[in-house]
Structure 1
Amino acid sequence: MSAIIERRRAVSSPQRGTPARRRRSGDLRVAMIFLLPATVGFVGFYLWPTLRTMYLSFTEYSLLAPPEWAGLDNYRRLLQDRQFWNSLRVTVEYVVINIGVQTIVALGLAVLMHRLTRSGLIRGVLLLPYLVANVVVALIWYTMLDAQLGIVNQALEWVGLDPVAFFGEQSTAIPAIALINVWRHMGYTALLLFAGLQAIPKTVYEAAATDGASEPRIFRSITLPLLRPALALVLVLTVIGSFQIFDTVAVTTKGGPVNATRVIYYYIYELAFQRFTFGYAAAICVALFAILASLALMQLKLLRADQTDLD
């Protein structure tokens, strides 16, 4: 009897070298080949620079001499650096304006596309500003908002208003930069939210319409709750991207006037490539990494990105 049982087990269990096992092994090799370029790129351009930056943050380093171990000196300097805290405050101001306006406008565009039209042409037009390089967009708007020759100030004069130095005044410089980036990114953000809206079943809207719910009530009670996972992802991505603002500032205000637009990325650039204090710049990079990681985790937790009301 035991011999019969062992024979049945041998027949029922997969054998080494069977076609199914060989096929799985071949699929694994093919997958590893396709993943290899991405892995090399990740290690070479992300992982290694991150580890190198963390090491340099504990050193005194310039291009003229090898790194010298400094322990926590750079981090102590960071805590007492008023310019660092000012750049962080300016960056937070930019992020609040950019994310607040961009999210509201993009959400409105996404809902309009979802409820009124799903034309591919309209989606393409909304995406056009995002396809233009950020530096080009910044230079175009810098010219249009010029206090002397800009078409925007000429239009203000035509209606009897005084011209505004959008990039020359401390109170308007950061809002101007933030709204420029809102104009460029709102179409892309709207398409991300539109993709989330498409995942909401039509039967939910049909049931609400049958019950006589108005469009504002449908938006508050159905669209926003069911869109929460997609909205959480979009907010995390846009907040991280907004903290990395650099190019618009670099080609317009260069941190001015009077440090009003010296965002944290531009401050890091100045420290590293103008003052050659690479160790201290690396310490600020590590601090920024910790801030962004904490913000991302906090957003995902508060917005319950892993849960959906469809269940």
Structure 2
Amino acid sequence: MKRGRIVAMSHPVAAPAPPLPDPPTAPAGPRRHRDDRRVAWLFLLPVLIGFAVFYLYPTIRGAWYSLTDYSLLNTPSYVGGRNYAALAHDAQFWNSMKVTALYVVLNIGSQTLLALGLAALMHRLTRSVVLRATLLLPWLVPNVTVGLLWMWLLDANLGFVNHLITALGFGNQGFLTSPTWAMPSIALINTWAYTGYTALLLYAGMLQIPQHLYESASLDGAGELRMFRRITLPLLRPVLALVLVVSLIGSFQIFDTVAVTTKGDPAGATRVIYFYIYQQAFAYFHMGYAASAAMVLVVILGLLTAVQMRLLRASRSDLN
């Protein structure tokens, strides 16, 4: 023990080196924030080019044609506002707007109510992927195919629907040949096609609502209907506003179902504004007149969208 202690003392441990002084720091200056605007514009460039080529340029060209007397067989000649003056006194134009408005009310009303109900059931009862995929199937079918399918189903002589209602003791009905039933039938056809897609949009919005709000309301004794009115609908307003705006614009653009099933008949009961513009442009070759009707439709849709967004306060959410 003593010898080991002497050996240890004969080799003293070296003292630690003093720490190096810190390098001089540069004087603090203003921090430079990273500017990502150039990268953002680079990613937006393809979309902006597509918008300019397929939307902006045709809109400007259509506005110019609306001020001309033009058909596919002659060069455009400037006539000023003569086409718009003729539209103001065109009974068929105003009738097509009336028919379109009826379709919009029927389609959006039935589609939104059914979609809200389906979305609420999926949100509160089941979240099955199979159910969601099944609801989306009608939306994936092309509109022309949907029109042909329902034209056969609603046929007055051979249609399955008429065979069914006849078996139930009711009279045979010409759904697409009656002036009374033609437009409601077309509205219900498109309601069947688009309700599933609309329900999925609303369901996605419902998933953003905090679950603890429903749990607290349930502990307070609130039922499902009351929670839907007090929690779901107010917090779903931004998504619901988006759905209503998209549905409004899409409803005014109804064309293919009418072109396949009724072609604007009977007696103009289903001649919507898009089909009227198509007839003026490609059946009567009044391209300038059709362009003026299209410009009026653009203005009407812009005003209706602005009013709808304003009334629904789409930019505000009760979650904030």
Normalising by structure 2, report the TM-score. 0.89
Looking at CA atoms only, which structure, 1 or 2, has the larger radius of gyration? Answer: 2
> Which of 223-232 and 264-273 deviates more?
223-232
Please say which of residues 158-167 and 98-107 is displaced more in the overlay. 158-167
Counterpart CA distance in 2 for 1:170 and 1:14 is: 72
Residue 38 (structure 1) shift: 2.1
Q: How does 1:180-259 map onto structure 2 within 5 Å?
A: 180-259=189-268
Name which of 46, 50, 61 aligns with 1:52. 61
Distance in 1 between residues matched to 2:238 and 2:210, nearest whole Å = 15
Q: CA deviation at 1:271?
A: 0.3
* 2:27 maps to 1:8: yes
Identify the residue that residue 12 of structure 2 maps to in structure 1: none
Supply the AA of the counterpart residue of 2:271: R
Q: Following the alignment from structure 2 to structure 1, what is the Cα–Cα distance between the partners of residues 49 and 232?
A: 41
Within the alignment, does 1:28 sit opposite 2:43 as a pair? no
Q: In structure 2, give the amino acid aligned to 1:8.
A: P
Separation (CA, whole Å) in 1 of partners of 2:175 and 2:225: 36
Q: Which residue pairs with 2:13 in the alignment?
A: none
60 and 304 in structure 1: CA distance in 2 versus 1, 3 angstrom threshold? same
Aligned residues: 295
The C-alpha deviation readout for 1:178-227, integer Å capped at 9, x for no partner, is 00000000000000000110111011101100100111111111111111
RMSD value, Cα: 1.6
SS of the equivalent of 1:71 reads: coil
List gaps (5 residues or longer) in structure 1.
1-6
Offset, 1:157: 1.4
Shift of 1:13: 4.8
Structure 2 Cα separation of the partners of residues 239 and 32 of structure 1: 31
CA distance in 2, matches of 1:235, 1:79: 29
Structure 1 counterpart SS, 2:181: helix
- Alpha-carbon distance between aligned partners in 1 of 2:251 and 2:30, rounded to the nearest angstrom: 55
Q: Which residue of structure 2 lines up, in the alignment, with residue 43 of structure 1?
A: 52
The one-letter amino acid paired with 2:211 is K
Q: What is the match of residue 3 of structure 1?
A: none
Rounded Cα–Cα distance in structure 2 between residues aligned with 1:293 and 1:259:
26
- Output the CA distance in 2 between the equivalents of 1:35 and 1:203: 38
Return 284-293 or 217-226, whichever deviates more. 217-226
- SS of 2:297's equivalent in the other structure is helix
The answer to whether residue 75 in structure 2 is matched with residue 71 in structure 1 is no
1:66 partner SS? coil
1:97 alignment counterpart: 106
- CA distance in structure 2 between the aligned counterparts of 1:164 and 1:136, rounded to whole angstroms: 22
Structure 2 residue aligned with 1:4: none
Give 1:307's aligned residue. Answer: 316
